[in-house]
Amino acid sequence: MSETETRENSSQTPTPASVAGPAGPSGQQDPSELIRPRSLTGNVLPKWFLPATAAVGVVVGFVISYLIGGQSVNYALWFVLAAIIYVLLSYLVTRQQLNKRKATDGLWRNLVYVAFVIALIPLISVIWSVVVDGFQGITHSSFWTQDMSQNAARTREQAIHEGEAPMGGGVLHAIIGSLLITLTATIISVPIGLLTSIYLVEYSRGGPLSRGITFFVDVMTGIPSIVAGLFGVAAMQTILVMGNQLGLWSYTAGNYSMGITAAIALCVLMIPVVVRTTEEMLRVVPNELREASYALGVRKWRTVLKVVIPTAISGIAAGVTLAIARVIGETAPILLTAGTLTRVNWDMFAGSMMSLPVYIYQTFRYPFGGPGELAYLSEQRAWGAALVLIMIVMTLNLIARIIANVFAPKKTGR
């Protein structure tokens, strides 16, 4: 069968009109037929086709993987086979029933679907495992109310001897530490970031200073977080030495391990994010509003404060919240600057501080009671802390959305 005949056949099969069409079979395909078929109907597959093909793929994939895997189910193999069968089957059937163009179209659409599902797998997997493993942790009675100090005081022998029953301990100190450090970092970063972006958008006129700021902000968004931690340490040591020399305080050398040091380190990570998001939000405020304000005889700073920022506040608040969510999960800089601690510390300026990410690291790496029979308790607590962290980040995202909705300029009211 020649190529021409094949094409002729495939284009005729589904369309009754093409058989009885006015032109009739001509031997040569009219190129315009590619774009405009001769009949309105018969050029689509029924709606149940794709779900049915997917079901076939899932079932056949299961059977094959069951047989290959020796009577047991391998989920990865099942998924791969189901995806391949679904994509191939729908392509071949479409090509046979309709035409090559539609088949190619469907092929790419199916590949996009499959890529979407693949991208979803790790996401769902992470959330699933954290929720399942973390649930046991957070339902321990002591999880929310205690720190780890009494556990640290117990020797390994005591722990084994007394069993898990008195084995309390929780993440209270880590939650307090995380919130305090992040809050302080936010209090420092937001004014700096906000004012920087106001300078960039409202005051600079594209001069070298503004281009320099933009460049360095871009560079700062990319620096590794451990470098930020080192910066925090170096900055705090400088400040402490200066204070000692001026007689403001007397810290012993190298005693930089404090909550405020971690907050300074996090600022380095946070400021560029705040500058970037706020700058974009300020830029989308229509110039007409500024001009309207100027035309009423309002000064520039009042215009910025009372017209530009309120108009952009929803985006700014959302950006700030996302910046908080980004730094609250940082581990390395906090471990470097605030260190670890087993008890609650409310003082940002004295002594180490525990935070949730460091707590997870610490508890996983060095379980209480040693890597023995009681290690599973520490693991549960670590997963629980991970769940708490995810919950905090999710809450922050929700808050960002709520803020964005509440502060958004009112559109209706008619």
Partner 1 sequence: MSKSITAKDLNVYYGDFMAVEGVNIEIAARSVTAFIGPSGCGKTTFLRTLNRMHEVLPGARVEGELLLDEDNIYGAGVDPVTVRAMVGMVFQRPNPFPTMSIRDNVLAGYKLNGARLSRSQADDIAEKALRGANLWNEVKDRLDKPGSGLSGGQQQRLCIARTVAVEPDVILMDEPCSALDPISTLAIEDLIAELKEKYTVVIVTHNMQQAARVSEKTAFFNIAGTGKPGKMIEYDETSVIFNNPSNEQTERYVSGKFG
Shortest distance (Å) from residue 120 CB to partner 1? 37
Shortest distance (Å) from residue 286 CB to partner 1? 7
What are the residues binding partner 1 (CB under 8 A)?
205, 286, 288-299, 302-303, 306-307, 310-311, 409-414
With respect to partner 1, which residue has the nearer C-beta, 315 or 369? 315
With respect to partner 1, which residue has the nearer C-beta, 298 or 344? 298
With respect to partner 1, which residue has the nearer C-beta, 307 or 389? 307
Shortest distance (Å) from residue 306 CB to partner 1? 5
Shortest distance (Å) from residue 310 CB to partner 1? 4
With respect to partner 1, which residue has the nearer C-beta, 291 or 373? 291
Shortest distance (Å) from residue 298 CB to partner 1? 4
Provide the 10 A C-beta neighbour count for residue 148. Answer: 27
Cβ-contact 103, 43 below 8 angstroms: no
Shortest distance (Å) from residue 396 CB to partner 1? 24
Contacts of 15 (CB under 8 A, 6+ apart): 37, 38, 39, 41, 42, 43
With respect to partner 1, which residue has the nearer C-beta, 114 or 298? 298
Max CA separation in the chain (angstroms): 102
Shortest distance (Å) from residue 301 CB to partner 1? 11
With respect to partner 1, which residue has the nearer C-beta, 131 or 289? 289
With respect to partner 1, which residue has the nearer C-beta, 250 or 412? 412
With respect to partner 1, which residue has the nearer C-beta, 218 or 291? 291
Torsion 369-373-374-376 (CA) sign: positive
One-letter-per-residue 3-state SS of the chain: CCHHHHHHHHHHCCCHHHHHCCCCCCCCCCHHHHHCCCCCCCCCCCCCHHHHHHHHHHHHHHHHHHHHCCCCCCHHHHHHHHHHHHHHHHHHHHHHHCCHHHHHHHHHHHHHHHHHHHHHHHHHHHHHHHHHHHHHHHCCCCCCCCCCHHHHHCCHHHHHHHCCCCCCCCCHHHHHHHHHHHHHHHHHHHHHHHHHHHHHHHHCCCCHHHHHHHHHHHHHHCCCHHHHHHHHHHHHHHHHHHHHHHCCCCCCCCCCCCHHHHHHHHHHHHHHHHHHHHHHHHHCCCHHHHHHHHHCCCCHHHHHHHHHHHHHHHHHHHHHHHHHHHHHCCCHHHHHHCCCCCCCCCCCCCCCCCCHHHHHHHHHHCCCCCCCCCHHHHHHHHHHHHHHHHHHHHHHHHHHHHHHHHHCCCCCCC
* Dist CA 86 CA 109 (whole Å): 12
Shortest distance (Å) from residue 196 CB to partner 1? 20
With respect to partner 1, which residue has the nearer C-beta, 196 or 293? 293
Shortest distance (Å) from residue 317 CB to partner 1? 13
With respect to partner 1, which residue has the nearer C-beta, 119 or 296? 296
Shortest distance (Å) from residue 213 CB to partner 1? 18
